[in-house]
Amino acid sequence: MTKNEPIYPIRTAAKLLNISVHTLRMYEKEHLIIPFKKSTSHRLYSQSDIDRIKCIRSAINEDKISINGIKTIYSMMPCWEVMNCSKKDRSNCSAYLLHSGPCWAVKGDDTICASKDCRKCSVYQDYGECGSIKKFIRNKLTEKE
Ligand code: SF4
């Protein structure tokens, strides 16, 4: 089983994180997490989701970053580099042009990501842990040196 396998029902995830179900739902509504949605509309969470939420909790409680602040940090992730978007793709994409939220929250219906399942995307799966966005940017800059 991989870390991205959705296995925990919402009550179990909330218990593991020592938070309320309401808080988990709020994080989803704010686009900080993308839980797996079963056909019954019940949510399932993976170990990666749990790790991501621990980082979110730490940013809120220890670093005093607001939810809007976390969304802005996520918006700084250069998803266009990961997805290898062309200049034309970028010119039409809110994820490239704006900084109001993560790419999966602002992507437009007419972009190359429109029909993609963001939960399965490397941008969501690989850069949810604390420090991973900065590490990605640092590696990119080192490549250019
Ligand atoms: S598929 Fe979704 S998560 Fe991946 S870059 Fe596009 S909008 Fe972002």
What helix, strand, coil percent values describe the chain, rounded to 5?
A: 55, 5, 40
CB of residue 85 inside a 6 A radius of ligand 1:
no
**Which residue has its alpha carbon closest to ligand 1 atom 6?**
113
Dist. CA 76 → ligand 1 center (Å): 13
Does domain 8-144 fall under CATH 1.10.1660.10? My reply is yes
Please state the domain extents for the chain.
8-144
Please give the C-alpha separations between residue 45 and each of 6, 35, 105, 107, 145, in angstroms, as whole numbers. Answer: 5, 6, 19, 23, 39
Using the mean position of ligand 1's atoms as its centre, give its distance from the Cα of residue 102 in Å.
Answer: 9
- Quick one: pLDDT at residue 33? 97
Q: Residue 12's pLDDT is what?
A: 98
- The mean pLDDT values, 10 residues at a time, for the chain of 145 residues are 93 98 97 94 94 94 94 90 91 90 91 92 86 80 79
What pLDDT shows up at residue 50?
95
pLDDT at 138: 84
